Structure 1
Amino acid sequence: MPLVDEVLAGKRLALARLLSLIENDAPEGWAALDALYPRTGQAHLIGVTGAPGVGKSSLVNQIARALRRPQDGEPPRTVAIVAVDPTSPFSGGALLGDRVRMRDLSGDPGVFIRSMASRGALGGLAPTTAAVVQALDAAGFEVILIETVGAGQAEVEIARLAHTTIVVESPGGGDDIQAIKAGLLEIADLLVINKADRPGADLTERALRSMLELGYPHGHHRPEAWAVAEPPPGETWVPPILRTVATEGKGIAEVVQALHAHAAYLRATSRWHAREQARLKDILDHMLQAALLARWQASLPQGHYQEVVQRLLRRELSPHQALEALLNLSPFPSAETPRLIP
């Protein structure tokens, strides 16, 4: 397949075209991704999430720069960035605001930036983010940074896609408990307090550290000690709390070191394989749900769904009865004789 050959040859235009085909649900794009799939599974997938305005884009920009200009004689890593932007209410596309903050990466042949529209999807990701990440993985990028929309507390889908999840907080965001509500702390592998030069950074760190002590009460060794050596058997990863000022590049080296340490921990404890298995299962489950829903909708008699909706609006059916009528394709049940869904 010419498109696959061009992607494997490192041609940027071919890769961009493939990603557009995938986003547009084109058969050619999925066929190419099928052919490329055996070459996936090598990249380190890093998710970056947090509330709007905490500096995710600036942090991603600095991490990518540090990976491209490593210290201590390490080879530079090739980096792909997937920035999920809010959907424009006018064009339906991505607002591309992240690219404005990553202009200093332009021209680097080892960096590829792709903005995606969320297209109304919840959880901070777009419907085809996982497929786009697979294509970038197959194209040979060693590190893939996935920046979520910034939807806030419900933004936990990234933990199912990434090997390492960075949760970004910033001082002065209001209630300190807000930073740790609804699962964001639970999905974090690294906690980064960005804009740490602002007042309130100490208070934010104390709140995060207090919650970590509740979650890890047995005093496990801090993960910084595993940066080089293999972690002790059975050791639990405790998310480090790191401070950065991304606009000035402060604290980025420590974040990159912690990313390397977490990847080493996952591989040394076989958790890399477990996360990869869970990630692929989640991708398959989502695709299966979408395919079954489309197949079921196509099997309905013409007008049946609309009739059920209208009867629901007229209060002639309860939501439970409407569901039964749709799943069983049965005559509409009466309100006096509700039936159970098999």
Structure 2
Amino acid sequence: MSRYVPSSELVERAARGEVPAIGRLISRAEAGMPEARGALATIYRRAGRAHVIGLTGVPGSGKSTLVAALTARLRTQGLKVGIVAVDPSSPYSGGAILGDRIRMSDLVNDPGVYIRSMATRGAMGGLARATLDAVDILDLGGFDTIIIETVGVGQDEVEIAKASHTTVVVSAPGLGDEIQAIKAGMLEIADIHVVSKCDRSDANRTLVDIKQMLTLGAATSAKPEWQTPVVGVSSYTGDGFDALTRAIDRHRDVAFGTASGSRRQLAIARFRLEKTAENLLVERFARAAVTRAPALAERLRRRDADPYSLANELLAASFERGSAHERDHHRPPHFAEDHW
């Protein structure tokens, strides 16, 4: 068993682009290790240069294949690309099922590409809990563009729009995505609409439908400095990717150089703040529930008290001696270094 390397010692190694250090820091962030929080705070203050692209869409729209083709195109421009692929969780191990990495196997040996699969582990909204920590770590590691591919989302799982500078919504012919967009708000969150699988004969119909919906919503658009383009691509033939990369480049200029871009960055910061606070509250609550919930549940079973007063008591217990308890949790665990 090798020595546990403190997270603070991994920061400079990650900044030099050392893949093992990047991987360990992401693993510790994903595990929610309190010992790593000081290092993550340092990383956050040093990050902020990368262009974060969120890519989402319904299952079956070809997101992973599109990410692989887009990454290959970005690499021809000399950009280092980090990919955080949010996968469904295994019901047995809790880990990512890794379907995305299988589809991106052609990129694995490229030193300018880093792919990390991340399990949702019950998180809603299409993102995993540590997704944005992983983005910061890759940003520090020198990756110019970071693509977050969400788990296949439905009608209201649109957190990616609050976590990325540029949101790409992927549709495909024959999936009914135009109806989903009307019902879901997927139309509104897109900075760029992509219709994949445009080598199919029915693709033009989907392109026309989405353009018509965008025209109907133009009067109420909250993006006066940007007109959302609709780009048809085919990962099979390679058609459309020049237009897609040009649209991404143009939107990067909007995201980093306009008033609406500044407002978007403020919204991202607020989302990050609230999600981090929510995670900390959940951790405190879980620790208190382990010791206090059984006795409170017994009182509830006997109907000695009502659920609201007992729930308030459990919440109050979450903050009792919280700081001292959390200091204990900052001690590094006794794990093998090759795991963490």
Q: TM-score interval w.r.t. the shorter chain?
A: 0.7 to 0.9
Task: Report deviation, 1:299.
Answer: 5.7
User: For residues 14 and 177 of structure 2, what CA distance do their matches in structure 1 show?
Assistant: 47
**Paired letter, 1:10:** G
User: For residues 110 and 167 of structure 1, what CA distance do their matches in structure 2 show?
Assistant: 25
Alignment of structure 1 residues 172-191 onto 2, 5 Å:
172-174=174-176, 176-191=178-193
**Which stretch shifts more, 191-200 or 40-49?**
191-200
Identity %: 43
Deviations 1:134-175 (A, max 9, x none): 111122211000000002222201001001000000001137
Alignment of structure 1 residues 240-319 onto 2, 5 Å:
240-296=229-285, 301=292, 303=294, 305-307=296-298, 310=301
Alignment-derived partner of residue 107 in structure 1: 109
Aligned: 1:327 with 2:316: no
| Among candidates 4, 9, 25, match of residue 2 of structure 1 | 9
Alignment-derived partner of residue 158 in structure 1: 160
The 1:218–1:131 alpha-carbon spacing in structure 2 relative to 1, beyond 3 Å, is closer
Query: Aligned with 2:27: secondary structure?
Result: helix
Alignment-derived partner of residue 198 in structure 1: 200
Deviations 1:102-157 (A, max 9, x none): 12212211111100011121111111111111111122211000000002222201
Deviations 1:197-239 (A, max 9, x none): 223222212221221112113999xxxxxxxxxxxxx943121
| Among candidates 36, 40, 57, match of residue 29 of structure 1 | 36
Alignment of structure 1 residues 38-77 onto 2, 5 Å:
38-70=45-77, 76-77=78-79
Query: Aligned with 2:242: secondary structure?
Result: helix
Alignment of structure 1 residues 92-241 onto 2, 5 Å:
92-174=94-176, 176-217=178-219, 235-241=224-230
Task: Report deviation, 1:293.
Answer: 4.1
Query: Aligned with 2:184: secondary structure?
Result: coil
Query: Aligned with 1:306: secondary structure?
Result: helix
Query: Aligned with 1:166: secondary structure?
Result: strand
Q: Give the TM-score of the pair, scaled to structure 1.
A: 0.82
Q: Decide whether the 8 Å contact of 2:58 with 2:177 is kept in 1.
A: no
The structure that has the greater radius of gyration is 1
Alignment-derived partner of residue 327 in structure 2: none
User: For residues 70 and 161 of structure 2, what CA distance do their matches in structure 1 show?
Assistant: 19
Q: Decide whether the 8 Å contact of 1:177 with 1:207 is kept in 2.
A: no
**Paired letter, 2:71:** A
The 1:169–1:308 alpha-carbon spacing in structure 2 relative to 1, beyond 3 Å, is farther
User: For residues 192 and 168 of structure 1, what CA distance do their matches in structure 2 show?
Assistant: 5
Deviations 1:259-317 (A, max 9, x none): 00011122332333222221121111112123234435656755354247647xx9x99
- Higher percent of residues as helix: 2
Query: Aligned with 1:192: secondary structure?
Result: strand
**Paired letter, 1:261:** R
Task: Report deviation, 1:83.
Answer: 0.3
Q: How many residue pairs are counted as aligned between the two chains?
A: 306
Q: Give the TM-score of the pair, scaled to structure 2.
A: 0.82
**Paired letter, 1:241:** V
Structure 2 gap ranges (5+): 1-7, 316-340
Task: Report deviation, 1:328.
Answer: 5.9
User: For residues 90 and 277 of structure 1, what CA distance do their matches in structure 2 show?
Assistant: 38
Structure 1 gap ranges (5+): 71-75, 221-233, 331-342
| Higher relative contact order structure (alpha carbons within 8 Å, sequence separation ≥ 6) | 2
Task: Report deviation, 1:258.
Answer: 0.1
Query: Aligned with 1:248: secondary structure?
Result: coil
Task: Report deviation, 1:247.
Answer: 2.7
**Paired letter, 1:254:** A
Q: Decide whether the 8 Å contact of 1:47 with 1:148 is kept in 2.
A: yes
